[in-house]
Amino acid sequence: MREKRGRIVYFILIISLIFNVSSLQFSYAADSDSSNLLVNGGFETDIWSGEAWNIEPNNWNYLDINWYNYSDDEWLNGAEGDYGLKYWVKDTALRNGSFTIKQTVSSLEPGYYELSVESMGGSGDVAGQVQLFAGEKTSDVKETNDYNNWETIALEFEVTEESDIEVGANISGKPNAWGYIDNFRLKKVVKPVESDIFIERVEGIPADFIKGVDVSSIISLEESGVKYKNWSGDEQDIFQTLAEAGVNYVRVRIWNDPYDRNGNGYGGGNNDLAKAIEIGKRATANGMKLLVDFHYSDFWADPAKQQVPKAWKNFTFEEKKDALYNYTKESLQSMLNEGIDIDMVQVGNETNGGIAGETEWTKMSELFNAGSKAVKDVDSNILVALHFTNPETVGRYATIAKTLDEYGVQYDVFASSYYPFWHGTLENLTSVLKHVADTYGKKVMVAETSYTYTAEDGDGHENTAPKDAGQVLNYPITVQGQAHAVRDVIEAVVNVGAAGIGVFYWEPAWLPVGSPENLESNKLLWETYGSGWASSYAADYDPEDAGKWYGGSAVDNQALFDFSGHPLASLNIFKYVNTGSVAPLKIDVVKNVSIRANWGDDINLPETVEVIYNNGNIDEVPVTWNENQLNDVLAKGVGTYVVEGTIEGGLTAKAIINILPKNYVINPSFEDSDRSMWKITYGENANPHTGFQNKATDAKSGNYSLHFYSDKQVDFQVEQTITNLEPGYYNFNMFIQGGDANNSEMYIYAKVGNQTYRMNTSVNGWVNWSNPEIKDILITEGTVTVGTVIKADGGAWGTLDDFNLNYTREYKEEQPTNSNTTPPADNSVGDDGQPGNDNSTGNENPVENDNTSGNNNGTEDTASDNNVPNVNDNETGNDITVANDNTTGNNSNKINENRNNKYNELPITATNYTNIFFIGIVFIILGTSMFGCLRRQQNN
């Protein structure tokens, strides 16, 4: 009996196991294809069963159609799953073969749908031809294009009333044509909204995706008189307008004590706890959640500075950690007591290398955990976010996430800043965030992003973008371009998967407090209410940044409202990412034509210009240029000019023509792959630490620059020798940017024979380009070596770019004079510190010569052959011409250091011997006459 019971139990267990496995498999199949309204769209079950698909050929004798298992062909890459449909029009067919594969979908409700299929096959005469249909609507015929080259064919259609719809494909081909189809899908799509802008719907965006904005400056702006309007142009609470536009989250920053000892605000919104509470209450009242961003500083915290609050300055680390915990907990509790809906807290802001004055990861991690514990002790449901930036740097986020894990930091969300003009590609953003999410099980988001809609400045304070260098502007600077940029950032986070939870737009309402013409009154408002990015009072706390550059809004042209407070169409991006939107097709921007030419070169303007439509499409359209303007440009010579043209619809095109003196440096910006004309050498104890970097944001022009960095010592020299130059005077300059260059020695030089001209320079921060220049380099023998020497302590970094050697004027050999001394005419210095020679403008016709370099040394050279004489080396006997500039490098005054007195003596020539003989005769005659006169006087 016991054995019988045991067999029954085993039998029940086996049946349960089979049932559960079957259920799991069924659930998986249903879940994986839940949006597809077709049955067996992937052909994973027998297509000949008649339960889903019907196949109707024009002649079975012409066709071979198979339910095909991809594993039967080891070289074939299936489109989806294990099976597909394979067809072949037999080579014995008397004419083209064709068939229809179709399925009837019952009771399809009204709406918009998309039918699609994956197709691949032969090409040319053996290509298959595929056309989709849904009811009476058909797609264009699409030919297959080679083996394993799968392509998607799609057809969109509308169903106006509930009905049965027959969908499928018509497939045909000439004799011997072949192909495969797979992954038939029918899905309902959301109809795009008609609007002023084009926005493509973001597929797969979750219903609870965070669409947030940071409006921390809003109170100070309103106090300064800024008014915000609704779509009708009437004044309205901005929080209501934001909610109506689809914003569901607000971010607010908190500084501990953003005031000086007299109570004057540092600016940037003067964002203390009281401001955060007021903003939080307004957000909650309009149905939006709040993200609280603790900087743990009294003013801006970012990768460049993480200053400790004044009140914590003299604390021990343990005291600071306790203070951070208590400040976080008490602040959050105060906000919750006001009924604010706090859903997330950010512990620190852009904390790449520091927080609250601590820069060691051991201590940083303890502070992170102190803040995180404070949040969870208040409410365990509140998410804790850590915030970092510069996702474009290879390995940065992977290293940070690993470090946080190793130190046991407790947090929920890994947040990133992402500004399209600085932070690399969107594909990279998705990749680095996905790595953190998948590896460490964290949610990820973008905590800050924005883009420009105009290049205009609204308040008289310079904007951060657009800039001519150091930025990648892949979208038009228009309202449509701004909307596309934000939409694509949202998509990049959605593409991470379920862990990608949202995006915040940074300061979309930081508008001008007044026009640029009213700059003085604007300054008064910035100082009084803290509505600029920084006030002069901030110098007390941040003397090196805010203390020097205080002023207004640097992002008024990146707002989602125009300068008058009216919402831009791009504000609706937060709604349109769910539905998509369409607008009347029009040209959004006409791309400027940029032409750089040397003086005397022919200038041919293009017959077409590139335009970008508001749907993102790019095209070339004919242009008619203003010939009178062009002729004026050709007559004027060196300079930068604008020639206008007209395109369809009366729109204006512009050609920016930059006519330059001929540059005799070969490959001056390193854009060409052949860089053998450049010689790079390193100091005696320095390993190679330079490279030709393909990164437009670090280049002065183009994409490439010469990058340097060493954690031990920076010590290198780069130069090029140029030959076959016309005798005359030349100017030499280059561009350099970088930072962290302690104990530096940096200069450019030009060697002509045994004389070296030199100009000191320096680095002053990222893309703050220095442009040292040496003027009036006299070249008489046709050869010069130009270059630069860069030395600094370990940790220094930067890039060099755009080397230029330009002819300025001809050389006229000085005629000898009777003077006993002849100072060098072209190196003398006048009372004003400028060279005393003729400083002509260089408008003379440049000489066109072959500038082939005689130097064929590449970057692999590592010898420390520093052939630039040291200015203090008195044993060289060389004439060193030194010019100093430790700021921007624009002053090219030269100071002569004549090492040998023979340069100041009258040259010994045949003319001088004649003069000496003539003077001697004169003295003899005068002496004889005087002697005669004395004798006559004595005789008298």
Q: What residues are annotated to the active site?
A: 350, 448
Residue 130 and residue 144 in contact, taking contact as beta carbons nearer than 8 Å: yes
Residue 910 and residue 916 in contact, taking contact as beta carbons nearer than 8 Å: no
What residues pair up with 293 in beta bridges, in sequence order?
253, 346
- Cα-based angle 873, 874, 878 (whole degrees, multiple of 5): 90
* Single-letter code of the amino acid located at 239: F
What residues pair up with 294 in beta bridges, in sequence order?
254, 347
User: Tokens standing for 881?
Assistant: 């011409």
Burial (CB count within 10 angstroms: exposed 0-12, middle 13-18, buried 19+), residue 585 = exposed
Would you tell me how many other CB atoms lie within 10 Å of the CB of residue 462? 11
User: Tokens standing for 221?
Assistant: 């702006």
SS3 56: strand
| Nearest alpha carbon to residue 594 among 607, 606, 582 | 606
Residue 117 and residue 183 in contact, taking contact as beta carbons nearer than 8 Å: yes
Phi then psi for residue 802, to 5 deg, are 55, 65
| Cα distance between residue 522 and residue 528, in whole Å | 10
SS3 368: helix
Question: Please, how many CA atoms are within 13 Å of residue 265, restricted to the half-sphere of its CB?
Answer: 22
| Nearest alpha carbon to residue 201 among 588, 585, 582, 586 | 582
User: Tokens standing for 371?
Assistant: 């803040």
Residue 824 and residue 896 in contact, taking contact as beta carbons nearer than 8 Å: yes
| Cα distance between residue 380 and residue 394, in whole Å | 34
The beta strand positions in 224-328, using DSSP E, are 249-254, 289-294
385 Cβ contact partners less than 8 Å away, ≥ 6 residues apart? 291, 344, 345, 346, 347, 411, 412, 413, 414, 415, 445, 447
Residue 432 and residue 445 in contact, taking contact as beta carbons nearer than 8 Å: no
Query: Can you say how many angstroms the Cα of residue 259 is from the centroid of all Cα atoms in its chain?
Result: 34
Q: Strand 142-143 to strand 129-134: parallel, antiparallel, or no bridges (unpaired)?
A: antiparallel
- Cα-based angle 808, 813, 817 (whole degrees, multiple of 5): 135
| Cα distance between residue 886 and residue 880, in whole Å | 19
* Single-letter code of the amino acid located at 261: R
Q: Sign of dihedral through CA atoms 474, 480, 485, 491?
A: negative
634 Cβ contact partners less than 8 Å away, ≥ 6 residues apart? 603
What residues pair up with 751 in beta bridges, in sequence order?
756, 785
166 Cβ contact partners less than 8 Å away, ≥ 6 residues apart? 102, 103, 104, 105, 133, 134, 135
| Cα distance between residue 207 and residue 190, in whole Å | 14
Please report, for residues 78, 85, 147, 178, 213, the alpha-carbon distance to residue 75 in angstroms, rounded to integers and kept in the order given: 10, 17, 10, 16, 50
724 Cβ contact partners less than 8 Å away, ≥ 6 residues apart? 782, 849, 850, 851, 852
| Cα distance between residue 846 and residue 753, in whole Å | 23
